[in-house]
Amino acid sequence: MGENIIYCSKRFMWLMMVIFVSALCWFVLPQSVLAYDLANDTFRLSTGNHGEITKLEIVGDQFPTNYVMNGSNAPPQNTSEHQWVGELMFTYRLNNGAWQEAWTSKSAGARTQSQSGNTVNITYQNSSNSQGIRNFRVDQSYQLQADHLRWEIKVTNTSNQSLEIGDFGLPLPFNEYWSYGGNEEIYETRVVTHSNVANSNSYITVQRPSGIGHSLLMVPDTATGAGFEYMDNWRIEEHPGSTWAADQGGWPEGLTVYYIHSNVIKSTNRGYLNNTSLILAPGQSKTYAFKLFAEEDEQAVKDRLYEEGLIDVTVIPSMVVPTDQKAKFALRTKKPITSVNAQYPSQTVITSLGTKPGGYHLYELQLGRLGQNDITVLYGNGEKTVLQFYAIEPIADALQRHATFIVEKTQWHMPGNIRDKVFDDWMMSTKSKRNSFSGYWGWGDDWGLTHGQFLAEKNVQDPVAAEIVAVDQYLETAIWTNLMNGHHQDYLIHDFLMPEPNDTPTYRGYAYPHVYNTYFSMYKIADLYPQLVNYIHPKETYLLRAYRIFKALYEGPVAYNWNTGLMGEMTTPDIIKALQEEGYTAEANDMIAKMTTKYNNFKNTKYPYGSEYNYDNTGEEAVYTLAKMNNNLQMMSKINTKARAVRGHMPLWYFYSVPVTITGEPWWNFQYTVALQGYAMDDWVRHHSTNPELEMRLTYASKIGNITAINSGQISSDPENIGAVAWTYQMTKGNHGALGLGGGPLFNGWRGMSGEADLGLWGAIKILSADIVVDPLFGLYGYGADVTESGSNYVIVPKDGVFQKLNLITEKLGIELERDTYTTATVAKAKNYVKLALSNATPGAAHTTKIMFTGLVSGSYNVLLDGQPVGSVNAVNGQTTEVLVNIGANQSYELELEQGTSVPIPEQVIHLEMNHTSGTTATDSSGSGNHAALHGGASWTTGYAGQALQLNGTNGYASLPAGVVNQLNHFTIASWVKVDSHADWARIFDFGSGSTHYMFLTADAGGAAGLRFAISTNGNSSEQQLSTNTPLETGKWVHVAVTKQGTTGIMYVNGVEVARNTSMTLSPSSLGATTQNYIGRSQFASDPYFKGAIDDFRIYSRALASSEIAGLANIASDIAPLATATASYVSPWESLTGLNDGYTPTSSSDRGHPVYGNWNNPNTTQWVQYTWSQPYTIDKVDVYWFDDGGGIDLPASYTIQYWNGSAWTSVSNAEGYGLLADQYNTTSFAPVTTDRIRLSVTAKATASTGIQSWKVYGN
């Protein structure tokens, strides 16, 4: 009769009869006439006149969410083709005849409805519509019971023939309609559906995509044998013109129908399980029933499955399992497990691990066959379920396979052509590059721009020279020369590449992070592996282009920026840090300011998930980064909750931890957000989760999910396609090819165009790690690793594919390598010992490796390299401990961090004599191995003594190893310097990690300032300084030195103190592990290079005395304080201690300090002697005589002798020998080299002699 059914109610008919117009009584009655309302303490339910459920609300829910779709909340679906929740779809035949459709939506005249208490009953039979319910009867009821809604469906064969129901389908359009409304509507009134089509163990969860509040759980009543074996999704090819088909009428998902039996619909080729029919003899009936519960959280869902007689499945590390790793799964059920069988038994190992209290049956699984692997579980009384796993090759092999494929098969080499150096999309259907360069929807956007992005970041971790060259050429030609043609000043990015004039827009903000992240990865490559290839540009060029493209994104005529979370923004803090370290302070501050503005745009947003669509998952990564930068735990928690809510928890590889997109479950599976959104989950579980062992289960699956897109043969076995990637998976598969751009045939369910898959792989590389947990169910387990216990330690072999990050999740310890990889790790459970077997990423090239430890027990740790101590570090609770190790050229090495007392720091840390005439290394002669590398226009020249380092003032400098001063609290840095010409702020040296943490010495601080030393841990606004008003003299060799002891810093020029600061609280150790230790270059990129020469560069671990500084400057200084004084006789009232105590007398009778005297020895000669621990060259002494006005007087005469090694000898050519009171009496003589010197003093006849102070000048 059609969809707007015409009714006359009995009551209305009676009234019309009363007034004698019953023959004319036909009216269209509103739908609410046959609507019924049910309610109890759990649910509020309403039905409609089609027998459907129009409203299903949870009592006490956080928001008034209707969990089902209806004509009001999804108006475009309110058509004659409707298939609301509660409507049914059958295909049947009689006596093996032709198949016939029978849908309740086409059975209006055969439908009767009634309500009895909290039960609504609906019956269908004898429809006059050929596609309606006839030849059998359907009795359906909705009944509110104590804690659930029971939905029962009974089918009775009313014919006199055998009835075979081939399809028994339940359309279940829950309120997953996201085409309308803002965030509040989407996240408070709409839902996301997750399903487990798994025979007897089928179930469905429905909850708000925010993850806030209750969820709806639909399970079969196991006593009735209900369950699902097939999931169909409407395609326009099979339902022409239907707005209920996928991507039609504003509903990208389209209708999903779940089948209890599917022997006919199986022809749509969307199945994973065996297909069955229901056969009923005449008069025979079959009842199926489902229960719907309101559950509070994820654990409540698992508990309900168990209580309802289903199997609660728990699996680690994921339903996707690399072949070199073992999975574990637990089947929690009240029913006996009959068998657990593999689809490919000869390539699968299933090991029972026994049982645990609570109904747990534990198993270990190793897969050997790539692709889908079904594990069939028989249990209970003939019940069955299927766990669908997916095997991939070892992750490192897969990543390298794909990287090789990109370079060898997807990069164009056509000089002068627009295609040149592009990494193109690969089409598996044609086994060739896509070759679309004509504008919109061609090469570019989120698909084309991501291939280079992945390849660049892969080479940050695992450098391959040919791949780096390919990326460098891609950036220079495809991006800079062609895509950004005409935009080298404004840094705008065309969305697509095409021949000039390029008329594609530059406003699409999503394109920008792909490009700037590729440049940033290239910067990191050039920074970490400077000698690996000949780079087109200096590393700073790549970094600045990254920054300027970022700047254009926010300042240019670009959309999707200030209020949109973009893919790839997790790198923002790293780019800021790199700019700071390279001295681009203004640029870093600009990024910080822009991100502050963007954060403020989100921080008060109730649902901070802004992206391109009403509902999406692409914004969480960026917004979580903003929240983390601002320590907004509430926002971070909200994003983590949402990320978990939109992911499937079911034991199906294509749903498990795979975010549901706007297309729902049926298609666009394994979008890049598996990893990008997974970044937020990973950070949360490592740093903030109160239950990390449980949350890690879903979190780790997010790290490896996107690796499934790499074709190792499981997607396409064609050799030409091995190593390619597939854009997305389409779990509903089908006969009509891939949905979305690229289309074409499916390859084992995968879309055969590369597309955005590389963005997911980029995200995966950023978060892949080995994560060790003590799981409450499985015990000790390594996600991405093999782990065993050895006494009080864990022994870990990483298999995560990147081999640079290790986390003890339960113990909360993190280890991260900046470069190189580790092959094994031994880590104390107590977090006070680590041993890493490391592998050099560039064998043959010496370098510095930085390793960051978070969570070490506080204390001092010795650092050992290959068993030899190389330094020590202090771990402070709550802070990251950085260890920098200078590595040789060997392939492998071993690093240990052991708690204990600090290894003594050598007195001389560096001594660069600079006596070279060729080469690019300045050798350290201190024995500490801190050699300096020459860069740019650095060369050798004649020095103050021998040779010197010559710097050209444009790009010449020398670099010292990272962390070279990070253990120093007290220090001396000294050098001979010759300035050729001054440039303000040019550095003699500058040690730091960017423009916030540094210490430097500049020959000219500009303006009225001169020589300056400065140290800071918070940029130039917080410097502690030593300064003079005079720059160093040009064209002359000058000796400069800086010392610090306690809080006193002193600066010397030519051995003379020129500046002192007694309030210097910062030391080199305050700077942390400095990574940029330069001679002749600044941390600030805008500062000039030093022009001149450097010789005899030294660093000591103590503050040298002024006399020692003078000695370095070859200037004779008072060395008396370094000597031990003795005498032939000392009177009881006098002392030797005042001779060299540094006191300056005010007169010969000054008693302000101890004085020497030999009272009661008139008319005798007494000697006073200095002895040193080493020889000095001496040519002068100063004597200040003591006269007490009584028995001690000025002497009659004196002589000076020195020890020549065998006898005392008088000095020669002596001049002076003064005998005056109240002053120093100077005597100079021919230089002598000795470790002992004497004054032989002759007294007057009636007096003895004494001395206030005796200075000796030497070096």
User: Is residue 479 within 8 Å of residue 518, measured between CB atoms?
Assistant: yes
User: Is residue 1120 within 8 Å of residue 1140, measured between CB atoms?
Assistant: yes
- The residue among 837, 830, 838 whose CA lies nearest residue 811 is 830
The dihedral over CA atoms of 93, 94, 96, 102, expressed in degrees to the nearest 10, equals: 0
Whose tokens are 């300045």? That residue is 922
pLDDT-based confidence at 962, cuts 50/70/90?
A: confident
- Judged against a pLDDT cut of 90, whether residue 1027 lies above it is answered with yes
- Do the domains 395-767 and 770-899 sit in the same CATH topology, yes or no? no
Lay out the sheet containing 43-47: strands in order across.
37-39, 43-47, 53-58
What architecture is domain 1117-1258?
Sandwich (2.60)
- Judged against a pLDDT cut of 90, whether residue 889 lies above it is answered with no
pLDDT in tens, 592-649: 999 999 999 999 899 988 777 788 899 999 999 999 999 999 999 999 999 999 999 9
Which CATH number is 395-767's, of 1.50.10.10, 3.10.129.10, 3.40.190.10, 3.40.309.10?
Answer: 1.50.10.10
Per-residue confidence (pLDDT) for residue 29, from 0 to 100: 32
- Judged against a pLDDT cut of 50, whether residue 28 lies above it is answered with no
pLDDT in tens, 1084-1113: 888 999 999 999 999 999 999 998 998 888
- Judged against a pLDDT cut of 70, whether residue 980 lies above it is answered with yes
- The residue among 287, 243, 245 whose CA lies nearest residue 268 is 245
pLDDT in tens, 432-471: 999 999 999 999 999 999 999 999 999 999 999 999 999 9
- Judged against a pLDDT cut of 70, whether residue 903 lies above it is answered with no
Per-residue confidence (pLDDT) for residue 10, from 0 to 100: 27
Beta pairing partners, 647: 659
DSSP-assigned states of every residue in 346-376: GGEEEEEEEEETTTEEEEEEEE-SSEEEEEE
Q: Which two tokens stand for residue 486?
A: 């005409």
User: Is residue 70 within 8 Å of residue 87, measured between CB atoms?
Assistant: no
- The residue among 398, 530, 406, 512 whose CA lies nearest residue 456 is 406
User: Is residue 1053 within 8 Å of residue 1011, measured between CB atoms?
Assistant: yes
The torsion angles phi and psi of 622, rounded to 5 degrees, stand at: -70, -45
Per-residue confidence (pLDDT) for residue 716, from 0 to 100: 99
Per-residue confidence (pLDDT) for residue 24, from 0 to 100: 28
Per-residue confidence (pLDDT) for residue 20, from 0 to 100: 28
pLDDT in tens, 206-216: 999 999 999 99
**Residues ≥6 apart with Cβ < 8 Å to 335:** 309, 379, 380, 381, 383
Q: Which of 97-101, 742-746, 928-932, 1189-1193 has the lowest mean pLDDT?
A: 928-932
- Judged against a pLDDT cut of 70, whether residue 8 lies above it is answered with no
pLDDT, average across residues 415-420 = 98
DSSP-assigned states of every residue in 159-226: SSS-EEEEEEEEE--BS---SS--HHHHHHH--EEEEE--BTT-EEEEE-TT--S-EEEEEE-GGGT-
Domain 35-295 has CATH 2.70.98.40: yes
Q: CA 516 to CA 870: how far, in whole Å?
A: 38
pLDDT in tens, 361-396: 999 999 999 999 999 999 999 999 999 999 999 999
| Fold designation for 908-1112 | Jelly Rolls (2.60.120)
DSSP-assigned states of every residue in 828-875: ETTSSEEEEEEE-SSTT--EEEEEEEESPPSEEEEEEETTEEEEEEEE
What architecture is domain 770-899?
Sandwich (2.60)
Per-residue confidence (pLDDT) for residue 994, from 0 to 100: 83
Q: Give the domain ranges of the chain.
A: 1-28, 35-295, 311-392, 395-767, 770-899, 908-1112, 1117-1258
Q: Which two tokens stand for residue 1051?
A: 């600066």
- The residue among 492, 494, 490, 497 whose CA lies nearest residue 505 is 494
Per-residue confidence (pLDDT) for residue 32, from 0 to 100: 39
The CATH homologous superfamily for domain 311-392 is Immunoglobulins (2.60.40.10)
Q: Which two tokens stand for residue 122?
A: 């609906």
Per-residue confidence (pLDDT) for residue 1016, from 0 to 100: 95
Q: Which two tokens stand for residue 211?
A: 């993850």
